[in-house]
Every structure is written in C-alpha cells, then in structure tokens.
C-alpha cells in the first residue's frame, strides 16, 4: 500500500478530514490524490502533528498503524533528547515570529506549538507511567519550555 493510501487509512480511522490534514501539513487539498511524492519535510510535519501515527508503519510497512499509548519506553534519554530538540526548534520559531512584529501570527504560532507540545506530553506521560525518574525529567523539560520566551 502506498504512503498516501496509508495516510488516507489513518485519516479515516481517526475521523480527520483530508482538508484539515492537508492544511495542517501545508499542501493543497488534492495532494493526497495526486501522484506527487511526499517529501521528507512533509513527513517530519506529519510526524510532529500526528504523534500517534507510527512512522515505521507509514514508511516501511512495519508494525501497527497507531502507536499504542501504553507502550513503556525503557530508554528515557530518547524522550529527553526529543524534547530538548523541540525546545530549540520552538524557541527559534517564536523568536522569528516576534521579529516579524505580526502579533496575530505570533499568537497563532504560540497556540499551535502549545497544542502540539501538550499532545506530545500527554502521550509521553502515559507511555512512561511507572517511571518516576522519567516523569520528573519530562516535567522539568515541559516546565522549561513553558517558561521560555
């Protein structure tokens, strides 16, 4: 099954409209029906916005479509590193938006980034249930992200 067909399957399963999906990843509404290839930048956007979508399933046809929320992650360093990279990326986006002096765009960016981080935090928190050390690290990271300007 092609990557685009898998995305359509995911959207149907999650009851997400194609239009909403296309707007979120920055492509035209007809993109999923076209023969155009999904580039690596779009795959990164999909990964960051649809965090329960198993990218190994999408790209390599390995595993299940949905990442189970109760999967226990033994290596907290992977999660810690991901949040640390997100912090740098988000800080740059916010700095660039503030430099543009467009308050509406800046406010929209802040809301979107908050929603994405909250979803990532919620899924990660559930996945790491039972590990106090990891939970405390994530709380520290999320707190630092919310207090960074």
Class of domain 3-60: mainly alpha
Residue 131 pLDDT class (50, 70, 90 cuts): low
Question: Domain boundaries in the chain?
Answer: 3-60, 76-146
pLDDT in tens, 61-115: 888 888 865 444 444 555 666 666 777 777 788 788 788 888 888 788 888 888 8
Please report, rounded to a whole number, the percentage of residues in the chain having pLDDT higher than 90: 12
Residue 13, pLDDT > 60, answer: yes
pLDDT in tens, 35-46: 778 888 889 989
Contact 6, 54 (CB under 8 A): no
Mean of pLDDT values over 2-20:
91
Residue 11 pLDDT class (50, 70, 90 cuts): very high
Residue 31: other Cβ atoms inside 10 A: 17
């Amino acid at each position: 099954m092609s990557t685009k067909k898998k995305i359509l399957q995911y959207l149907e399963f999650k009851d997400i409209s194609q239009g909403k999906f296309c707007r979120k990843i920055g492509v035209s509404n007809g993109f999923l029906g076209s023969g155009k290839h999904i580039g690596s930048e779009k795959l990164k956007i999909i990964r960051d916005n649809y965090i329960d979508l198993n990218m190994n399933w999408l790209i390599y046809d390995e595993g299940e479509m949905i990442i189970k929320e109760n999967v226990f992650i033994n290596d907290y360093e992977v999660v810690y590193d991901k949040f640390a990279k997100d912090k740098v990326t988000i800080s740059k986006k916010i700095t660039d938006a503030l430099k543009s002096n467009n308050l509406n765009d800046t406010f929209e960016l802040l809301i979107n980034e908050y929603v994405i981080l909250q979803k990532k935090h919620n899924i990660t928190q559930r996945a790491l249930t039972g590990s106090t050390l990891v939970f405390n690290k994530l709380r520290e990271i999320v707190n630092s992200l919310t207090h960074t300007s």
